[in-house]
Amino acid sequence: MNKAASIAPQRAWGKGRLVAKTALGQSRIAELYQEGCAKIRLPKTFDASMEAVLINSSGGLTGGDRMVWEVVAGAGTDLTVTTQACEKIYKASADTVAVATRIEVAAGARVDWLPQETILFDHASLSRSLDVELAADATFLAVEAVLLGRKAMGEVVQTGLFRDRWRIRADGKLLHADNLALAGEIASLGQRRVVLDGAVAFATLLYVGPDCEPLLPRLRLLLDGEAGVGISHFQVDGRDKLVARLVAPDGFALRKILIPLISHLRKQKTVPKVWVL
């Protein structure tokens, strides 16, 4: 037996945890933990908010890799969480990438979860989850965008697995549940009109806050004339949420739709600087 063949391949593992608190009217670090390939950097801000940049120092993920991110926004804090770059999910020879994100937003706090796009390569396998606990008057904005290969590089995702699970709770009650699965012949699935209608870039946007209804007309105006997009306003147990579904022919076109929406929901504050470097 070939000894080298019997050795299990090395897998990436990372866990990052950030807890924010208020101090002298500013959002500041209460706790910072980093393990493995998970790194967190905190660029200087020029207002009372805090920005955190998540980094996977392994340079991408493949079958069997594991990442865990935990974010806790203490009472009254204002925290934006993004990523240094797009997360790349490479071809998996075996097993599935697992990425779990857990976020807690305390009373009067706000978290904007704005990672850059996840890029799936052909034969990639990814299972991802987002679990959020919101206090009574917390505000939460989340955007997750996915690219099926990089169109400019001529990449095509023929087969693979992508599972995405969202569970958002407010005051312990389920406010939003979302399950998405693309499995097997992804290229064929994506051609179906009820799936992606040939698009290779898509995103989900969720906003929970007391001002959903006043924000909605401008969002619809921004989306007017855009194909493959839709936004809805819901009220669940007295809590308001906005949910938008977006598809586009490529990542650049998707960003052109997303960025004005994000800016509007952030009170004209644009996306984090790492998005445009």
By percentage, how much of the chain surpasses pLDDT 90?
79
Note whether 5 and 57 are within 8 A (CB): no
Residue 101: the pLDDT is 98
Q: Does residue 130 register a pLDDT over 80? A: yes
Structure tokens that stand for 39 in this block = 């790194």
pLDDT digit string, tens, across residues 81-100: 999 999 999 998 889 999 99
Q: Does residue 199 register a pLDDT over 60? A: yes
- Residue 241 in 3-state DSSP? strand
d(CA 194, CA 241): 24
Residue 197: the pLDDT is 85
* Distance, CA of 13 to chain centre: 19
d(CA 208, CA 235): 10
Residue 149: the pLDDT is 86
* DSSP label of 38: E
Residue 6: the pLDDT is 62
Residue 245: the pLDDT is 94
Residue 152: the pLDDT is 76
* Least confident stretch, 160-164, 173-177, 189-193, 223-227: 223-227
